[in-house]
């Protein structure tokens, strides 16, 4: 009996070391790469792309707060470049790509520093050219980091291939041992084989699905304990990555000053609302809202007071909307609101409610109660062929409200639309 089970014992020992070296070590390498290389690369790409926002907004309105925002972003990006370079220093190809991306970023940072160092004149050809170069360098840097991400994904795939190879060797070893021990311990070999194969299959399948981008998959391995611990750590790591990606995605769609959704979120929500208009013939209205004389507030009381006004007005407007309505800060002192299931007359009622609520709530600035007003332009989906036309109509109505005295609501009407069509 001892001789009969000896091949199985030897096979189990050999398979354990093969699995431990080939499969478990490969999975641990995947965990390390995700934690120290792949996730930081994605975070750095997002931070570099977001560095465009404060520079663009400074060129648009010259607000010094955007200078501070850019400098904070630059410090964060430099720190992340240092950490990523340290993480990939033993991989020449990835390290070279990171250094090239850092060179592109350095060039972009130099151009951004020049752009935000002085107030740029709107429409200045030199400023426009500098902005285009800055955008190009940012795109080049993110492209290099995308190449780093692809390279690291390739390394993860290589680890997966190693795991498969050692898995096949383990199966071969177990099969050979099973042949020699079959007559004496058929049941034991069958049971052990099923447990090991099922566990390794789950790990290998999890690695493949992870490499293919399936972040929702979880690996369920109970036996052996070593693979169970690897599977649990793998699942925990995927959960942390999902949480980080969700937080980053939310931050990318949120205005940090007012807490409202930003222009990127507005574009996505407008596309979704328009899809319902086309599919279900739903009504939807769009409000284009602008704070009257906001520049004078900044000039008189300072930009910190202007920020306080933006936050107060955002809070007041939110209180006048339904739960189904969506409010956005489009940029500067401009806001937008999407009102599902609302025609132009109902949109007018909502806009008037917002306008009156803001005018009725003076804001205290430097110990003085300051009355702030807004102008609102309204357009409803009916009669437009695409959401861009509706946005243009709301902006045109807002322009009319500004032109005719401010602190008023103007609805895009048939007359105005016909005039635009004729023009």
Structure confidence at residue 405 (pLDDT):
92
Compute the distance between CA of residue 198 and CA of residue 227 in angstroms, rounded to an integer: 11
Structure confidence at residue 344 (pLDDT):
92
Compute the distance between CA of residue 138 and CA of residue 52 in angstroms, rounded to an integer: 8
Structure confidence at residue 379 (pLDDT):
97
Summarised one tens digit per residue, pLDDT across range 130-160 is 788 888 888 988 998 889 888 888 887 877 7
Structure confidence at residue 214 (pLDDT):
72
Q: What average pLDDT is seen over the chain?
A: 83
Contacting residues for 210 by C-beta, under 8 A, at least 6 apart: 30, 156, 217, 234, 238
Exposed/middle/buried for residue 30 (C-beta within 10 Å: 0-12, 13-18, 19+): buried
3-class SS shares of the chain: helix, strand, coil, % to 5: 75, 10, 20
Q: For the chain, how many residues are written? A: 423
Determine the topology of domain 263-422 in CATH.
Alpha-Beta Plaits (3.30.70)
Structure confidence at residue 316 (pLDDT):
97
Structure confidence at residue 190 (pLDDT):
65
What is the DSSP code (8-state) at residue 119? P
Compute the distance between CA of residue 3 and CA of residue 317 in angstroms, rounded to an integer: 83
Structure confidence at residue 420 (pLDDT):
41
Structure confidence at residue 23 (pLDDT):
66
Instruction: Tell me which residues of the chain have a pLDDT lower than 50.
Output: 414-423
If residue 335 lies in a helix (H) or strand (E), which one and from where to where?
A: strand 334-340
Helix (H, G, I), strand (E, B) or coil at 338: strand
β-pairing, 334-340 vs 326-331, is antiparallel
């Amino acid at each position: 009996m001892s001789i009969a089970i000896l091949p199985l014992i030897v096979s189990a020992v050999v398979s354990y070391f093969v699995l431990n070296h080939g499969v478990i070590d490969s999975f641990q390498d995947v965990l390390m790469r995700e934690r120290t290389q792949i996730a930081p690369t994605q975070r750095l790409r997002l931070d570099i792309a977001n560095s465009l926002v404060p520079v663009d907004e400074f060129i648009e309105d010259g607000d010094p707060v955007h200078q501070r925002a850019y400098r904070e972003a630059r410090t964060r990006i430099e720190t992340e470049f240092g950490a990523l370079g340290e993480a990939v220093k033993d991989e020449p190809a990835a390290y070279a790509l990171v250094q090239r991306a850092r060179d592109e970023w350095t060039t972009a940072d130099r151009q951004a520093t020049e752009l935000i160092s002085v107030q740029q004149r709107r429409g200045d050809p030199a400023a426009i050219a500098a902005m285009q170069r800055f955008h190009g360098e940012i795109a080049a840097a993110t492209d290099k980091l995308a190449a780093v991400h692809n390279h690291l994904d390739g390394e993860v795939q290589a680890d997966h291939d190693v795991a498969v190879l050692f898995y096949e060797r383990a199966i071969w070893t177990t099969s050979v041992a099973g042949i020699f021990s079959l007559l004496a311990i058929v049941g034991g070999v069958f049971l052990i084989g099923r447990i090991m194969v099922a566990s390794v299959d789950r790990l290998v399948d999890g690695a493949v699905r992870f490499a293919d981008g399936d972040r929702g998959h979880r690996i369920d391995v109970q036996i052996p304990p070593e693979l169970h611990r690897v599977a649990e750590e793998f699942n925990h790591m995927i959960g942390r990555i999902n949480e980080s990606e969700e937080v980053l995605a939310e931050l990318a769609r949120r205005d940090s000053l007012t807490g409202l959704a930003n222009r990127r979120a507005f574009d996505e929500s407008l596309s979704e609302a328009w899809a319902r208009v086309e599919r279900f013939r739903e009504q939807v209205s769009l409000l284009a809202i602008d704070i009257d004389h906001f520049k004078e507030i900044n000039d008189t009381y300072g930009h910190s007071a202007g920020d306080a006004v933006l936050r107060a007005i955002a809070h007041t407007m939110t209180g006048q909307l339904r739960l189904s309505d969506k409010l956005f800060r489009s940029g500067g002192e401009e806001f937008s609101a999407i009102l599902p299931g609302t025609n132009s007359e109902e949109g007018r009622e909502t806009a008037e409610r917002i306008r009156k609520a803001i005018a009725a709530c003076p804001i205290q600035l430097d110990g003085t109660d300051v009355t702030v007003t807004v102008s609102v332009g309204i357009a409803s989906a009916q009669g437009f062929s695409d959401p861009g036309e509706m946005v243009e109509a709301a902006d045109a109505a807002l322009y009319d409200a500004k032109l005719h005295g401010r602190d008023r609501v103007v609805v895009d009407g048939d007359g105005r639309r016909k005039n635009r069509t004729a023009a």
